Structure 1
């Protein structure tokens, strides 16, 4: 009797060491960090729902090409799992994009980062996962760091902030869903189903609430292409297989670095400067990531068999 086939190619490289998955997820965060600036600029030339529809239409086309040789093996299990993940992703990106049109990027960065806290809470109370002190302390440090990095004086519960708060719930649910449901599924077929669901959902929302859907002009089109190909197509193609080799709480903690990269790109591209408070916040986020990494072995034993 032979054991299960060992993964090959990119997934084989990921399976060699936990550090490989960590590095891939960190790269995902770098790309995500650029999207806050890109989306904020692009929304000057298009509406939120139309932007999401076009962005994910581009992303689904990318994944259709990548998954084309494998689409013949698409199973109903991959369809319903990918569809469920796609609905969570739709909720996250719709609410985040609407929120970015109504609030500042700094507030949006912090509130989106609340998914760092929500993931282990969802995993603990929804799935019965145990959360070690290292992850708990790391999440605490990351949360304080996010607050120092992103909060501004006079933060109030404005409509845009509430929209982005909803996005944190959607993204936290998506992180958990990917970790729990992607095992045994082809990463590219799963990504194609997810992005197609988001594109279809965004298009229906644009038609029903905004009256039309179509290619935006100017920076709106460039932003949709950038976020569709790189900010969605590339990162989902990397995130989905990489998360098979890490835990939901640890993945969420790595994702906490997203506001750090967002601030760095805003400084480089928009001329924004990081003050002492923001630098301390970024340091606390990185410290939280390292603390969770030190407690990694005990957490890994909690992952069930495939």
Structure 2
């Protein structure tokens, strides 16, 4: 890739890694489900110019994508981040959505993968097991379960999204926010308390976390990523995105007081190594395919 494009994807990784830190700071004061809903509200207004009314055929898949990638993924993700008390394990475990997506694509989209890709999938899942025995993860096993469920929700939404054609990617992000914010607010009202007190007493740092999640991580990060996807295959970009959890772990150690043990490092290396191998195999398969006709 040109140096400018490499700089852009590096920027995306840094922005997304910082989002783990700023979100963790906000979650000290805001309930996780409420925080997830608050980060989606600005997106609806900001992305409104790109939102076009979906067709009748698009609505079922769009609803599934919004519930999986919006409500379930974000709700479980921030809940896990709050329960974990560290940045390292959630940032790494979230990457398991890539091997999960690969397996779901084989089961439901009838995609064919070879033994090398299956090896990458197996190594990633084995890495999660190794990581799960690290002391900082054992202190909060519920957080690990929540993050795995969050990753699975994202995988289901990603596979469903592959059949959702004809929508502008940024506009679709706005629709996901609009559809997901209602279920998130209802979920929060049913399971969390003192919403108004949390909102009125939240510090500027807490609102900075909301703003960073909405404006930097979602609007800036995803817009840059969609711009790059239009110019490079996803399989080319995916290996670079593995820098995100690496940066998040570094931020956790530097600013959050994380002290990962050897099992987390070994398990994390297995998870990211397996994902990296899956991405490399996807890129190899893409090169063997004929170029698609321009539409």
Question: How does the TM-score come out when normalised to structure 1?
Answer: 0.73
Distance apart, 1:171 and its partner CA: 1.3
* Bigger shift: residues 211-220 or 53-62: 211-220
**Residue aligning to 2:77:** 96
In structure 2, relative to structure 1, the CA distance for the partners of 1:121 and 1:259 (3 Å cut) is same
**Cα deviation, residue 279, structure 1:** 6.2
Q: Does the residue aligned with 2:135 lie in a helix, a strand or coil?
A: coil
The 1:162–1:276 alpha-carbon spacing in structure 2 relative to 1, beyond 3 Å, is closer
* CA gap 1:239/1:180 in 2 versus in 1, 3 angstroms: farther
Question: Please, which moves more after superposition, 295-304 or 100-109?
Answer: 295-304
Contact 1:21 1:246 (C-alpha < 8 Å) held by counterparts: no
Q: Encode CA deviations 1:80-114: one digit per residue, 9 max, x unaligned.
A: 54433211121011111112222243332343232
> Structure 1 pair 256/269, CA: closer, same or farther in 2 (3 Å)?
same
Deviation at 1:277, TM superposition (A): 6.7
Query: Is the counterpart of residue 166 in structure 1 residue 149 in structure 2?
Result: yes
Structure 1 unaligned regions, length at least 5: 1-16
Check the 8 A contact 1:108/1:164 in 2, yes or no: yes
* 2:179 aligned with 1:197: yes
SS at match of 1:102: helix
Cα distance in 2 for partners of 1:110, 1:95 equals 15
Query: Which deviates more, 102-111 or 150-159?
Result: 150-159
Unaligned runs of 5+ in 2: none
Q: Deviations over 1:139-164 (max 9, x none)?
A: 45555666777861385483333222
Closer, same or farther: CA 53–207 of 1 in aligned 2, 3 Å = same
Check 1:104–1:187 CA distance in 2 against 1; reply closer, same or farther (3 A cut): same
Among candidates 252, 265, 269, match of residue 255 of structure 2: 269
Tell me which of 35, 41, 44 is aligned to 1:60. 44
Tell me how many residue pairs correspond in the alignment: 283
Pick aligned residue for 2:285 from 290, 294, 298: 298
Distance 1:238 1:195 in 2: 18
- The secondary structure found in structure 1 opposite 2:83 is coil
2:66, 2:177 within 8 Å by CA — same for their partners in 1? Answer: yes
Q: Which of 153, 168, 190 is 1:186 aligned to?
A: 168
The answer to whether structure 1 residue 74 and structure 2 residue 59 are counterparts is no
Q: What's the Cα RMSD here? A: 3.9
Change (3 A) 1:226 1:46: same
Please, which of 201, 205, 214 is the counterpart of residue 228 of structure 1? 214
Report SS of the residue matched to 1:113: helix
Whole-Å Cα distance in 2 between the matches of residues 140 and 250 of structure 1? 22
Asked if structure 2 preserves the Cα contact closer than 8 Å seen for 1:60 and 1:233, the reply is no
